[in-house]
Amino acid sequence: MKKIIRSPGSATIVNAIATGSGSAFGINLDIVAEAKLRDFGIKCSPDLDIDTSLMSICAKNVFNYYDIDFEGNNDMDVCGVEILTKSNLPPASGLSSSSALSNSITLAISKLLAEEFDKKPMNDLEIINLAIDSSLEAKVTITGAFDDATASYFGGVTVTNNMDREILIKEKMDDHKVLIYMPNKDSMTANSEVKRMKLLAPLVDIAFEKACQKQYYTALNLNGILYSNALGFNTEIVIDTLSAGAIASGLSGTGSAYVAVIDDQSKDHVKDIWNSYTDSGRIIETEVDNLGTSIIN
């Protein structure tokens, strides 16, 4: 028996690190996780060269939730799992790769074990919360990234109180195209300068207020300028992108990816601007994802 789950990444509207509240929207870059039963143990086989600690922790926590022994040490129900992942979502870039990974693996193994052992399946928020707990345990997130996790799980846009894990707004996002600029620089969230970001709290509150008013693009622009400045990223990229006609532009997460929401008229202009930079990185074309996490098999 196996389960295959697809979870998209997300892009930042308001980064929650400064205030504990944030907003994000799904993007059509994803991680596909396949989980299949084995006799015992947890085997992780990612397609990318990444640390598998988060994968293992997600699996362990689902087994513990259902009180199933994966090591064969007790008289409880015993089985193990093998996890394979395929991803076109760049890691360590601010595009919620950790949320997509933890969501997909947690849901896949939950479905697998619930069916195999006739257990009551977790509901959506239980899946999300366990995935966040695993991400915190793996130390790949600062706030738990409830905004990123919910945008990845449900698709569309979410506005959240991350500290209380409360969804304030959850709705479809306009079906715009999205361009992502990837400078030649990775940025692990857990290594980011939290003190510098928290200094921004009064200004980030303004961006969050705009998100609560569903002025998502204004919030994204303001947040992008604030955080790129605080983290030492080039704020001119945001301004250049807007001057090229983008609907909105900003740093996603703690970087290094910049996101531009575009229309057909601005697409080529934005790409030309980005390609003109002397240290030009990679450009990815995608779109808003309103589907969210889904069961493939």
Annotated binding site for ATP: 90-100
pTM, 2 dp: 0.93
Cβ atoms of residues 283 and 246 within 8 Å: no
Annotated binding site: 90-100
Cβ atoms of residues 69 and 63 within 8 Å: yes
Provide the CATH number for the domain formed by 177-287 in this structure: 3.30.70.890
- Listed in order, the ranges of the chain carrying CATH 3.30.70.890 are 177-287
Q: Please give the distance of CA 78 from its chain centroid, rounded to a whole number.
A: 32
- pLDDT tens, the chain, 297 aa long: 899 999 999 999 999 999 999 999 999 999 999 999 998 899 999 998 888 999 999 999 999 999 998 876 766 677 999 999 999 999 989 999 999 999 999 999 999 999 999 999 999 999 999 999 999 999 998 888 999 999 999 999 999 999 999 999 999 999 999 999 998 765 555 456 888 889 999 999 999 999 999 999 999 999 999 999 999 899 999 999 999 999 999 999 999 999 999 999 999 999 999 999 977 789 999 999 999 999 999
Question: Rg of the Cα trace of the chain?
Answer: 19
Classify strands 42-46 and 80-87 as parallel, antiparallel or unpaired.
parallel
Report d(CA 102, CA 287) in Å as an integer: 22
Q: Across the beta sheet with 248-251, what order do the strands follow?
A: 248-251, 258-262, 177-182, 282-287
Q: Please give the distance of CA 285 from its chain centroid, rounded to a whole number.
A: 17
- Listed in order, the ranges of the chain carrying CATH 3.30.230.10 are 2-172+291-295
CATH fold of the domain at 2-172+291-295:
Ribosomal Protein S5; domain 2 (3.30.230)
Residue the block writes with tokens 């619930």 = 114
Report d(CA 103, CA 130) in Å as an integer: 9
Cβ atoms of residues 35 and 2 within 8 Å: yes
**DSSP secondary structure letter of residue 183:** -
